[in-house]
Amino acid sequence: MVGPLLRATAPAAFGDWLTDRLARRPTGAQARAVYRDPLYHYPNFRVILAELALTSGDYLLEVGCGGGAFLKEALRSGCRARAVDHSPEMVRLAREENREAVARGRLEVLEASADRLPFPDAIFTCAAMTGVLGFLPNPVAALAEIRRVLRPNARLVILGSDPENRGTPAAPEPMASRLRFYDSERLEGLAREAGFDNARVVRRDLEAFAREAGVPEEHLPLFAGPGARFLIAHKG
C-alpha cells in the first residue's frame, strides 16, 4: 500500500514534479504569476526580436509560448502570429494576456506539442522558440516539424540551452539534471539534422538588454559573461 506513496514522494519523482510545475509544463498560481510577466526572460526576447526584425507582413510561429509575454512584444510589429504550448494553463494565460490580438484574429494560441504542430505545411514567414529547447526529448523532431510549417526563405531564431548555465540561477536543480544542454557545434548540428540550411550560432551579451528591460541592478551580473547562444537558421 505504501509503495505508490513512496514512489510519488521519492526525490526523483519530486524533482520531476517540480520541474514540470515550474517550467517544463507550468501549472499553478506561482507559474501563472511568473509567466504572465517573466522579467528575467525579456533580455532573451529582445535578442530574438532584434534578429527576427519583424514587420507587419510577417506571420510568426512561437513554440512553447508560456504566458504569451514574447507574443505581446512581437505583435507590436503589426505581424500576425500563431503559437503553441503543451500546458493548457499556459495556453489560457497566453490567450488572456493577448486577448485583443486574439479577438481581432491576429493571434491564435493552441495546445500542442512541439513535435506535432497542428498547422499545414509552409505557412509561416518566421519562427521563434525561447526557454524550451533544453526540455525537448527529441529536439531534431521538433526542429524538423518547425521547418515543415515554414515557407521557403523563412527564418528561425531559437534561444539555446547553454552548458554553462547548468546549476546556475538560469538552470538550477532539480531542473538542471532534467535539461539537455548543447554547445555551439551541437546546436548547429541539430538544425542541420532537421534540414535547415545556413544554421549558425551567435552569442549575445545579455547585460545591456537586461538593464533595458528593468532587471534590478544587483541581478545584472547574472546576465554578463561569454554571451548566451542563439541559433539562427533559414529554410532554403
Ligand X SMILES: C[S@@+](CC[C@H](N)C(=O)[O-])C[C@H]1O[C@@H](n2cnc3c(N)ncnc32)[C@H](O)[C@@H]1O
Say how far apart CA 234 and CA 174 lie, in whole Å: 34
Interaction between residue 232 and ligand X (CB under 6 A): no
Name the residue whose CB lies closest to ligand X.
Answer: 66
* Closer Cβ to ligand X, 70 or 196, answer by number: 70
Secondary structure (3-state) at 26 = coil
Interaction between residue 90 and ligand X (CB under 6 A): yes
Size of the site for ligand X (CB under 6 A): 24
* Closer Cβ to ligand X, 110 or 236, answer by number: 110
| Of the candidate residues 16, 18, 36, 38, the single one contacting ligand X (CB under 6 A) | 38
Interaction between residue 35 and ligand X (CB under 6 A): yes
Length of the chain: 236
Residues 6 or more apart whose CB falls under 8 angstroms from that of 131 comprise 23, 41, 44, 64, 66, 159
Phi-psi region of 233 (alpha: psi -120 to 50; beta: other; left: phi over 0): beta
Cβ neighbours of 22 (radius 10 Å): 18
Residues 6 or more apart whose CB falls under 8 angstroms from that of 83 comprise 61, 62, 63, 65, 68, 71, 94, 107, 108, 109, 110
Least spacing, CB of residue 128 vs ligand X, in Å: 9
Least spacing, CB of residue 5 vs ligand X, in Å: 27
- CA 117 from chain centre, in angstroms, equals 15
* Closer Cβ to ligand X, 58 or 85, answer by number: 85
* Closer Cβ to ligand X, 132 or 187, answer by number: 132
Contacts (CB under 6 A) with ligand X, residues 175-204: none
Say how far apart CA 73 and CA 61 lie, in whole Å: 14
Assess contact for 198 and 231: CB atoms under 8 A: no
Q: Binding string to ligand X for residues 42 to 81, with x set by CB under 6 A, is what?
A: ----------------------xxx--xx-----------
Contacts (CB under 6 A) with ligand X, residues 109-138: 113-114, 130-132, 135-136
| Of the candidate residues 51, 58, 85, 188, the single one contacting ligand X (CB under 6 A) | 85
Least spacing, CB of residue 221 vs ligand X, in Å: 21
Interaction between residue 174 and ligand X (CB under 6 A): no
Say how far apart CA 82 and CA 226 lie, in whole Å: 33
Chain residues in the site for ligand X (CB under 6 A) = 23-26, 35, 38, 41, 64-66, 69-70, 84-87, 90, 113-114, 130-132, 135-136
